[in-house]
Amino acid sequence: MLEKINTHILYTALCLSFVIVLFAFTPLDIYVQNFFYKFDTHTWLIDKHNATLNFIFYKGMKKLLMLCTILIIISLIFFRKSKIIKMYRNGLIIMVLSSFTVPFVVVSLKDSTNMPCPKHTKDYGGKYPNVNIFESYPKGFNEKRIRCWPAGHASAGFAFMSIFFLFKKRRNQVKALGFVLIIAWSMGLYKMLIGDHFLSHTLISMLLAWLIILIFAKILQRKEIEKSTQI
């Protein structure tokens, strides 16, 4: 199993690198984002001030994911001796570690990359030039630092892809992963439709989250192997 995870880590890292380079050197982000912007009225397809959608896809979803993490932590602490928790212990630990680490890594990147959101760029009525991750701002451009790359909100949803390792049967793993991806991408797409993120921001968050999850899975599986060899 460790060899499979090592292979998946390699493939995910390569895929992440490819996506970063692809969107950095092609206008794919702009091409996709143009479908979400009404150039005649200078508005986005979804109004970010729509309270219902904001609650469903932003505030409410964040609270729901946070509640799920808290419930998992409670189960690991107070019900750790129960048979079912022991059976799924590793998967639950991976979920908790991922739910904290993935958003932390993404937010740390957002703090350092200084890349604009679509709504901030000149293409969509903003002040910022549309620079990619490998470019610097034009000389003399002195606007404040900005935090849009990669997607922070969706990263909380993508962190729950770790549910894959909670299940034993392949069919259940695929179903659970598919369900989480629907939730995470609904969060990511909402932010794209209100002009907060490009497609690449969300894709990169997803791949980065999966890479982190795989690394945690590898660490825990290695510890299990070491423990079994010592018995």
Q: Identify the residue with better confidence: 180 or 141.
A: 180
Q: Write down the pLDDT at residue 227.
A: 72
Sorted by sequence, the CB contacts under 8 Å of residue 213 that are 6+ apart come out as 94, 98, 102, 159, 161, 162, 164, 165
d(CA 65, CA 156): 7
Q: Write down the pLDDT at residue 224.
A: 80
Residue 204 reports pLDDT greater than 80: yes
Can you say whether the dihedral through the CA atoms of 115, 98, 63, 157 is positive or negative? positive
- State the residue for tokens 């390792």: 165
The predicted model gives 171-175 an average pLDDT of: 96
**50-65 per-position pLDDT tens digit:** 999 999 999 999 999 9
Residue 29: phi and psi, rounded to 5, are -60, -45
- 127 dihedral zone (left: phi>0; alpha: psi -120 to 50; beta): alpha
**10-37 per-position pLDDT tens digit:** 999 999 999 999 999 999 999 999 999 9
